[in-house]
Every structure is written in C-alpha cells, then in structure tokens.
C-alpha cells in the first residue's frame, strides 16, 4: 500500500469514501494540473416541479475550451466523462434528491474552483435540471476571471447591504441552465459573513427557489481560516480536492479530520500519475 493509500485509509476513518477512477488531461486554472481520480457520496432535498430559466447569450464552443469548461462536444471525451461519472456517483448516493455540495482543497491552488465549476456544469447538462454555483472565495476568486457577469454586485454586497436583493446577485454564466453568484468585493475577514443569520437565510432561500436545482459551493481551501468548515454546515456533501504529490499525509489527514462529523465526505485527486501513464 502506498503512502497516499495509507493516508486515504486513515482519512476514510474520518468520513472519506472510496475512489471512483477517472481521467482528465485538462488542468485546473488554479494549478495547471489534471484531475484523475474521484470520490463522492451524498443526500439532499427535492422540492417540486422543474422551473425553466430564461437563457441569455451562451458561451461558444471556442470560449468554453479556452476557459476549460466541460461540454458535450469536447475533442477529448475523457474530460467530460470523468465529471459525468462523478455526477452519477453523487446522484446515486442522493437517491433522487437534490444536493448542495461544497468543494474545497487541501491547499491553495489545489484545483477546487476548476472542480466546482465543471461539476456544476455537468449537472446543468440535464435539460430537466438547473445548477447554481456559489463563489465563496472572497479573498481570492478565480471564477470571476472565467465566468460572465452582468453586474458588479456579488455575495459580499448582498450580505452587507439590505438594498441588494438576492435576484440581483444571481447571474447567468454563459452555460445553459447554470447560474452563479460571484463572491463580490474582496474581503480579508470572511468567516463572519458565512456564520451570519443572513447567510443562513440566503442558503435556505436558494435551496427552496427551484425544485430541480443543484447547488455547488466553491469554498476556500481548508488552510484558510475556518471558512470551509462553516460552509460545510450548509451542505449535504463535502468534496475535498487533493493535489497529488503536492501535500503530505499529515496534511491530508488533518484536512479530512476537519469534516469528521460530516455525514458525507468525498475525495478528488488532482494531477495523479495514473493519467500521465495513460496519456503516455
């Protein structure tokens, strides 16, 4: 058994689940690495009939490729299929219910935003479903450089001001049936936002707004204050992104332990040598 396997075995005792292999040659915007192995498990709440959303101008295939956003017509189907397999695993464990999923990384630049964005995208492939991507990286957002935005307001603006409505911060992404909430203005102290009564009320409203909606939260890395652990309380499942070969066993174990009281925890390996071997 390798050191990574040993570390994951220990992490599993704290709630992590078994891996679902997958191969992805395209890297994350944050680290330039490839995603190769995935884990998932969960549960959530379905709340009624499907609601159709008005679609604005969509990103072209060329734009999707440039932004590293998965789509059905990708030249290398392994990329999109890996995310589809992750989605399928999550849905199987959800027993037909909707999900709120948090994606975080063991360290900064681990690929969490790339994973969150593309997981939300594959959920929106189904024309009977919608997805909402919530950017909670208030200190260092990468999604703001990738997705379209129709206004300057975002999550921080909503939480700070009574004059900003929830409708104002939910924006089209350029991907059909996928909406997103930008992080808003950069903030150094963030945990007070996530633990606020208004944040709790907002999450409740988002879960109830559409009966067919899946919510994906792009959370800061676990090394960044207590943000990820606070956000996990809103979620049915936590996905922990591990950049292969770039963190120690101790770091993996420490990250998994933070969520030991959470019922559903999954692991996503980023930049595994298995892909390099396959690609060669």
Directed axis angle between helix 112-123 and helix 77-94, to 10°?
70
Residues 6 or more apart whose CB falls under 8 angstroms from that of 214 comprise: 44, 98, 99, 100, 101, 120, 123, 129, 130, 131, 132
pTM given for the model: 0.79
196-200 LR contacts (CB < 8 Å, sep 24+)? 196/159, 198/158, 198/159, 199/159, 200/234
134: phi > 0 → left, psi -120 to 50 → alpha, else beta; which? beta
Tell how far CA 242 is from the center of its chain: 13
Ordered structural domains, the chain, with CATH:
3-279 (3.40.50.300)
Task: Classify residue 251 as exposed, middle or buried by CB count within 10 Å of its CB (0-12, 13-18, 19+).
Answer: middle
How far apart CA 128 and CA 123 sit, in angstroms, is: 10
Cα distances from 261 to residues 8, 45, 205, 265, in angstroms, run: 17, 20, 25, 10
Encode the chain (280 residues) as per-residue pLDDT tens digits.
Answer: 444 454 455 444 444 433 333 333 333 334 333 333 444 333 333 333 434 456 678 999 999 999 999 999 888 888 889 899 999 999 988 887 889 999 999 988 889 999 999 999 999 999 988 999 999 998 888 898 899 777 779 999 999 999 999 999 999 999 999 999 999 987 777 778 899 999 999 999 999 988 889 999 999 999 877 899 999 999 999 999 988 788 888 898 899 999 999 989 998 887 655 432 222 2
Strands 130-135 and 178-181: parallel
3-state percent helix, strand, coil for the chain, nearest multiple of 5: 35, 15, 50
- Strand order of the β-sheet with 100-105 is 19-21, 35-39, 265-270, 237-243, 100-105, 213-218, 130-135, 178-181, 171-172
């Amino acid at each position: 058994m390798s050191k990574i396997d040993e570390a994951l075995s220990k992490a599993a005792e704290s709630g992590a689940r078994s891996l679902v292999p997958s191969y992805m040659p395209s890297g994350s915007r944050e680290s330039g690495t490839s995603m190769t192995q995935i884990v998932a498990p969960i549960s959530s709440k379905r709340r009624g009939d499907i609601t159709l959303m008005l679609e604005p101008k969509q990103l072209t295939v060329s734009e999707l490729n440039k932004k590293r956003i998965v789509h059905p017509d990708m030249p290398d189907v392994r990329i999109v299929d890996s995310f589809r397999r992750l989605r399928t695993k999550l849905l199987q464990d959800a027993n037909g219910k909707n999900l709120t999923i948090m994606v975080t990384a063991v360290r900064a630049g681990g690929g969490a935003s790339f994973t969150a964005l593309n997981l939300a995208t594959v959920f929106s492939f189904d024309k009977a479903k919608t997805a909402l991507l919530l950017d909670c990286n208030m200190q260092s957002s990468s999604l703001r450089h990738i997705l379209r935005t129709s206004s300057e307001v975002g999550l921080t603006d909503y939480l700070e001001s009574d004059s900003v409505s929830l409708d104002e911060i939910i924006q089209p992404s350029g991907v059909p049936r996928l909406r997103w909430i930008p992080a808003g203005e950069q903030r150094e102290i963030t945990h007070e936002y996530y633990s606020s009564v208004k944040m709790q009320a907002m999450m409740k409203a988002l879960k109830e707004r559409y009966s067919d909606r899946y919510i994906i939260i792009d959370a800061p890395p676990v090394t960044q204050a207590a943000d990820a652990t606070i956000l996990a309380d809103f979620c049915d499942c936590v996905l922990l992104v591990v950049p292969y070969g770039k963190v120690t066993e101790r770091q993996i174990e420490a990250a998994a332990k933070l969520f030991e009281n959470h019922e559903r925890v999954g692991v996503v390996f980023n930049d595994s040598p298995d892909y390099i071997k396959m690609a060669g």
